[in-house]
Structure 1
Amino acid sequence: MKLLISAVTGLSIAAAAPVMAADWTGAYAGFGVGYGDTDGPGSQDGDNATFGGHIGYNYDFGNNIVVGAELEYDRVGIDLGGAGGSIDNIGRFKLKGGYDFGPALGYAVVGAARADTSFGNDTGAVYGIGMAFPVTDQWTVSGEVLRHDFSNLNGSGSDFDTNTFNLRASFRF
């Protein structure tokens, strides 16, 4: 009986302990949900829930430094109010640089974002921060806060800034 109690206690402690990602190297793909908020000139502002998918690759140098690249696509559907139109989708190409804290990976991103809007398409800059946590050897959850800057959106003479917050789940191959 003592052996059974010891085994159950040991398994409970092992199950409660966070998974340590010894190596972040490899490809991954996943999905995310979040929130987006766009600010434009005058009353051309809006916000909405977001959802989409991502695919990427990380390389862990083994000295706590991790770099990677990622493609991401989000359906945002942000109505800009009045005659402002809408921002429908945002696609991103991101370069990532991070630090392996053991049970988590903190990282910064920079890259390019493409906004598909009701009045045309345009490319701008994206930058932000994120934190990833392994749940199992293959699944991670992460959160990202990103800023998108679109200057002179589609030749309109107007600048639009979009902030997004995404919660993501990724499967590591």
Structure 2
Amino acid sequence: MTTTFKFARTAMLAAPLALAAGMASAGGLAAPVETVAPTPMPAPAPVMRRGTDWSGFYLGGQLGYGEVTVSALDDEDFNGAIYGVHAGYMYDLGALVLGAEVDYDLTGIEGDDIGVLGSAEVDDVLRVKARVGYDAGAFLPYVTGGVVRANLSGTDGDVADLTAEGDFYGLGVAYKFSDSILMGGEVLQHKFYEGDDGVQGLGIRATTATARVSFQF
């Protein structure tokens, strides 16, 4: 009886120890918990300017229509075709594009009974321009202005050939058809207030509208 009691007591003490040892062993064999590293966020892409580089020299030609009004003769006007060449340079500052240009036109503008000129025609027109444009991608709308000189011919013997000088302003747009080809147009308003004696006091004004093609390099 005593031996049985001792055995039972030993078993009761050993059971908790065995259970604890088993739990400790199971914990040691358990797979370690993996820690997932956070996914790195990609860096934001740089913001690119939605524009076109307009910087560079260019040259080309223009073709259009011109009308001359003489206010001293009850706003009598005469008109005709104009055609010529131009050359300039543009510098792209980002949103703004600055430029300078020289253009030269021959004309078919002519009319009858133009005051002291009699029958008259505009032989040629030379302009020196400054312009400021807005870089709108493939399009470049701009304002322009500068000085102008025109040579006129008349049938009156005393003032057969005259030179008129003045200024002008206007609007234009260029379209970048390719890296080297520009297409566009201009509308210009001119006022002549200086020149030979036969021109002064006549109040000569002119409007021109041209289509333009340029090669940029």
How would you bin the TM-score normalised by the shorter chain?
A: 0.7 to 0.9
> Which residue number in structure 1 is paired with residue 150 of structure 2?
115
- TM-score by structure 1 length? 0.83
Relative to 1, partners in 2 of residues 1:94 and 1:148: Cα closer, same or farther, differing over 3 Å?
A: same
Whole-angstrom CA distance in 2 between matches of 1:80 and 1:97: 35
* Equivalent residue pairs, number: 153
Question: 1:66·1:99 contact (CA, 8 Å) conserved in 2?
Answer: yes
Instruction: Indicate whether 1:88 and 2:123 are aligned.
Output: yes
Q: Which runs of 5+ in 1 are unaligned?
A: 1-19
Given candidates 110, 121, 140, the residue that maps to 1:79 is: 110
> Secondary structure of 2:109's match?
strand
Identity %, equivalent residues: 37
Deviation at 1:80, TM superposition (A): 2.9
Shift of 1:159: 1.4
Give the partner amino acid of 1:48: G
Q: Distance in 1 between matches of 2:138 and 2:209?
A: 22
Matches within 5 A, 1:119-158: 119-151=161-193, 154-156=196-198, 157-158=201-202
Unaligned runs of 5+ residues in structure 2 are 1-49, 154-160
> d(CA) in 1 for partners of 2:126 and 2:177?
27
Paired with 2:96 and 2:167, the residues of 1 have a C-alpha distance of 24
Whether the 8 Å CA contact 2:166–2:194 is kept in 1: the answer is no
Give the Cα–Cα distance (whole angstroms) in 2 for the partners of residues 129 and 54 of structure 1: 16
Amino acid at match of 1:159: G
Mapped to 2, the partners of 1:109 and 1:72 lie a distance apart of 12
Asked if structure 2 preserves the Cα contact closer than 8 Å seen for 1:85 and 1:117, the reply is yes
Pick the structure with more helix per residue: 2
Q: Does the aligned pair in 2 maintain the 1:21–1:134 contact within 8 Å?
A: no
CA deviation map 1:152-173 (0-9, x unaligned): 5522221111100000000001
**TM score, norm. by length of structure 2:** 0.67
Task: State the distance in 2 between where 1:72 and 1:147 align.
Answer: 15
Distance in 2 between the 1:55 and 1:131 partners?
A: 16
* Structure having the larger proportion of residues in strand: 1
Are positions 1:39 and 2:74 aligned together? no
Structure 2 counterpart of 1:159: 203
Larger radius of gyration: 2
Q: Deviations over 1:24-61 (max 9, x none)?
A: 00000000100000001326421101100000000000
Greater RCO, CA 8 A, separation 6+? 1
The more displaced of 146-155 and 127-136 is 146-155
Find runs of 4+ consecutive structure 1 residues off by over 4 angstroms. none
- CA deviations on 1:103-140 (whole Å, 9 max, x unpaired) are 20010011000101113112100110000001111001
